[in-house]
Amino acid sequence: MLIHTNPEKQQFHLTNGQISYIFHVMKNGQLGHLYFGKALRNRADFSHLQAYDVPTAASCHVYEDDPAFSLETVRQEYPAYGNSDFREPAISVSKEAEPHVPNFTYDSFTILEGKPKLEGLPATYANDNQDASTLQISLKDEFLEAELILNYTIFRDKPVITRSTSLKNKGSEYLEIDRLMGAVLDLPNKDFIVTHLGGTWGRERHVKERKLEMGIQSISSLRGASSHHHNPFMALKRPFTTEHTGEVYGFNFVYSSNFIMQVEVDHYGMARVMVGIHPFGFKWILPPGELFQTPEVVMVYSDQGLNGMSQAFHHLYRDNLIPDQWKREERPILINNWEATYFDFDEEKLVNIANSASELGIELFVLDDGWFGKRNDDTSSLGDWQVDLNKLPNGLESLAQKISNTGMKFGLWFEPEMISPNSELYKEHPDWAVGLSNQPRTLGRNQLMLDFSRPEIVDFLYGKIAGIIKQTNLSYIKWDMNRNITEAFSQKLATNQQGEFFHRYILGVYSLYERLTKEFPHVLFESCAGGGGRFDPGMFYYAPQAWTSDDTDAVERLKIQYGTSFAYPLYSMGSHVSAVPNHQTLRETPLSTRANTAYFGTFGYELDPLSLTEEEREEIKKQVIFYKEHRRLIRDGDFYRLMSPFEGNETAWMVVSQDQSEALVGYYKVLATPNSRKQQTLLLSGLAADMAYAVEGKTYFGDELMQVGLQLPTEFNGVNRQVAKRGGDFQSQVFYLKCVE
């Protein structure tokens, strides 16, 4: 049993032996939070965990003259504003603009085996009824004639609680929702460091940290995408928590549009975490009888450091988020023509690239931007999803056949959500673009966006893409999205409904993904948004991998992939070897280092194989063989970060198989150090202490590797040229460990 209830005391305890989440109904009928953290034993009554602080100062507002109860000091599950709690609320809703402070009080609960689907939204799922249990708490506000449902799911074997909220209009008048958070967590103190993943194009998801302090600290997006700038992930770790030890709470929002994740630390040092759709500009008009469902919040607790937290996210997303098919199937090693040709290609050039790549053992050829309309640069044709016969005179089908003749699968780039003002589609349907035609509209990369809040536009895109999938027998689609939403209005929405636009837009995106992935489950989708601008769990529900960043420079990728791994598994990260000088940084790194970095992801190439030397081709053949040998380990293993690129010149990480019988370790040193130590060791993690592992011609026990360390090959120190095995800038090495009897 994962959910224990005490109906008499109105207490609820979700526990799986790893974590406990406990809450109850308070004396005012609202829900109070008692505990989230490492598992506690279950008991009949948890009342004693409630700390009713007697408010001391005159500024404390007590509840109905009870001097021992103030909403200002109790921990709550879903707070409102306007009562004795002056912090930002989880909910703000009104009926026909009538004055009223929301007062949702407990009505009933339901326990469901498994996990119900969130209609129209991506969310984690249970694989069967034993995998998870869901508790739904129903609260009612009589004045509003509304029901608030808080959904809590606990998974059998993961230190994870997922939460979401829905609001049902049970009356006969419209409700206006201004704010409805997915989840709130009131923590008893503020002794945490906030960790989040920030950046911009070309340097997404860098690890940022700061101490929690009194006041509100938040990360958010108002771009209509989860964004390059702030990933919808946040962790609160204790000051002494490391990668391997200590307490940390992790939060991730299963959503791809405007979000907020904030922590409000009050005057008593309590920390309130809130995650949800960004309330700025949001207003949802809820008609009688209808329900509004928030996206889901994933909450992880780990007492095994940041690696423990990350592994919990990774396991959840691998087992309970990505499409079933892609849990088992190998992801193909791909070659993408973008950096090889940009817009300048014809059939012959592409087939030559494909032939040459196929000889290297590469399995999938992806034709990127520029194959449709009259798209010779980024100023035209988005929306015109007809092949450009000037470049491909024999059509897409013929190209697909020629690619297939090389022994490779065929994949294609789309940017379904866009429309170029210079396109046939725009001439035909100028009103399909986002924004109002009588007001100025901002171009981004010379393009406008299609109004995905309108089902007929989503239908049109479905028809186009489905047709091409069938015609060319596509195996893979790269779904790109290269600008953020401005002038976010729909020509079809009523004036008082324009606050619904952003959410309706992303629901349209999800519905197109849903239809395509259901209809064509064999097609592998890779999401992309000018690199990693929409790298979030919402996307992974449909597309199990995402283009991590347009920046393919190996040194930059260390930081990007290290940060990304805080929440997302290796097998979600598209990571490719590209040419040097690198197109984003002009840096020249060795081919081996580029591959040693890209192996820790879904592997591929982003270069022109025809411009390689014979020596490079031989090296790439070996890389491809190496990845094929180890991709299952990379997909299913547990990932450990060992040395952070944000803290020094070296980076190290490793992946260990579930049975601990093998592991792959990546070590990287960005700049050479003169007169460095003769012997350097790298402390490993996650191995079985009593298993013997063969590596680098030696045999170590797991405890030796974890406590003494793996001895790194001798580094060039200025004089030892004869014996040095490594040296120079941008050096790296990957070690394979295999247990021996």
Known catalytic residues? 480, 550
Closer by beta carbon to ligand DGJ, 230 or else 478:
478
Q: Is 603 in the site for ligand DGJ (CB under 6 A)?
A: no
What is the rounded end-to-end Cα distance, in angstroms, of the chain? 40
Closer by beta carbon to ligand DGJ, 182 or else 332:
332
Q: Minimum distance between the CB of residue 367 and ligand DGJ, rounded to whole angstroms?
A: 10
Coil, helix or strand at residue 37: strand
Q: Minimum distance between the CB of residue 463 and ligand DGJ, rounded to whole angstroms?
A: 23
Q: Give the bridge partners for 257, in sequence order.
A: none
Q: Minimum distance between the CB of residue 402 and ligand DGJ, rounded to whole angstroms?
A: 22
Closest CB to ligand DGJ belongs to which residue?
A: 369
Q: How far apart are CA 237 and CA 306, in angstroms?
A: 8
Q: How far apart are CA 413 and CA 505, in angstroms?
A: 21
Q: Is 388 in the site for ligand DGJ (CB under 6 A)?
A: no
Q: Is 551 in the site for ligand DGJ (CB under 6 A)?
A: no
Query: Among 72, 141, 388, 550, which residue interacts with ligand DGJ (rule: CB under 6 A)?
Result: 550
Q: Is 547 in the site for ligand DGJ (CB under 6 A)?
A: yes
Closer by beta carbon to ligand DGJ, 182 or else 202:
202
Number of neighbours of residue 660 by Cβ within 10 angstroms = 18
x/- site string to ligand DGJ, residues 321 to 340, per CB under 6 A?
Answer: -----------------x--
Q: Minimum distance between the CB of residue 605 and ligand DGJ, rounded to whole angstroms?
A: 13
Q: Is 368 in the site for ligand DGJ (CB under 6 A)?
A: yes
Q: Minimum distance between the CB of residue 221 and ligand DGJ, rounded to whole angstroms?
A: 18
Q: Minimum distance between the CB of residue 425 and ligand DGJ, rounded to whole angstroms?
A: 17
The answer to whether the CB of 740 falls within 8 A of the CB of 695 is no
Distances (CA, A) of 73 to 87, 106, 150, 366, 454: 11, 20, 22, 57, 45
Number of neighbours of residue 8 by Cβ within 10 angstroms = 8
Neighbouring residues of 80: CB distance < 8 A, sequence distance ≥ 6: 89, 90, 91, 92, 101, 102, 103, 104
* Cis-peptide into 122, omega within 30 deg: no
Q: Is 46 in the site for ligand DGJ (CB under 6 A)?
A: no
The answer to whether the CB of 417 falls within 8 A of the CB of 434 is no
Closer by beta carbon to ligand DGJ, 368 or else 638:
368
Radius of gyration of the chain (CA): 27
Q: How far apart are CA 670 and CA 650, in angstroms?
A: 6
Helix and strand element counts for the chain (H, E) = 13, 38
Residues shown for the chain: 741
Query: Among 530, 604, 645, 702, which residue interacts with ligand DGJ (rule: CB under 6 A)?
Result: 530
DSSP state at residue 611: G
Number of neighbours of residue 355 by Cβ within 10 angstroms = 18
Q: Is 482 in the site for ligand DGJ (CB under 6 A)?
A: yes
The answer to whether the CB of 166 falls within 8 A of the CB of 294 is yes
Q: Is 417 in the site for ligand DGJ (CB under 6 A)?
A: no
x/- site string to ligand DGJ, residues 683 to 712, per CB under 6 A?
Answer: ------------------------------
Residues 141-200 that bind ligand DGJ (CB under 6 A): none
Q: Is 369 in the site for ligand DGJ (CB under 6 A)?
A: yes
Residues 499-528 that bind ligand DGJ (CB under 6 A): 528
Greatest Cα-to-Cα distance within the chain, rounded to the nearest angstrom: 86
Amino acid occupying residue 456: E
Size of the site for ligand DGJ (CB under 6 A): 11
The three-state (H, E, C) secondary structure of 414-473, written as one string? ECCCEECCCCHHHHHCHHHECCCCCCCCCCECCEEEECCCCHHHHHHHHHHHHHHHHHHC
Closer by beta carbon to ligand DGJ, 339 or else 662:
339
Q: Minimum distance between the CB of residue 368 and ligand DGJ, rounded to whole angstroms?
A: 5
Q: Minimum distance between the CB of residue 456 and ligand DGJ, rounded to whole angstroms?
A: 26
Q: Is 413 in the site for ligand DGJ (CB under 6 A)?
A: yes
Q: Is 23 in the site for ligand DGJ (CB under 6 A)?
A: no
Coil, helix or strand at residue 331: coil
x/- site string to ligand DGJ, residues 461 to 480, per CB under 6 A?
Answer: -------------------x
DSSP state at residue 566: T
Closer by beta carbon to ligand DGJ, 316 or else 353:
353
Q: Minimum distance between the CB of residue 376 and ligand DGJ, rounded to whole angstroms?
A: 12
The answer to whether the CB of 713 falls within 8 A of the CB of 726 is yes
Query: Among 182, 232, 531, 666, which residue interacts with ligand DGJ (rule: CB under 6 A)?
Result: 531
Binding site for ligand DGJ (CB under 6 A): 338, 368-369, 413, 480, 482, 528, 530-531, 547, 550
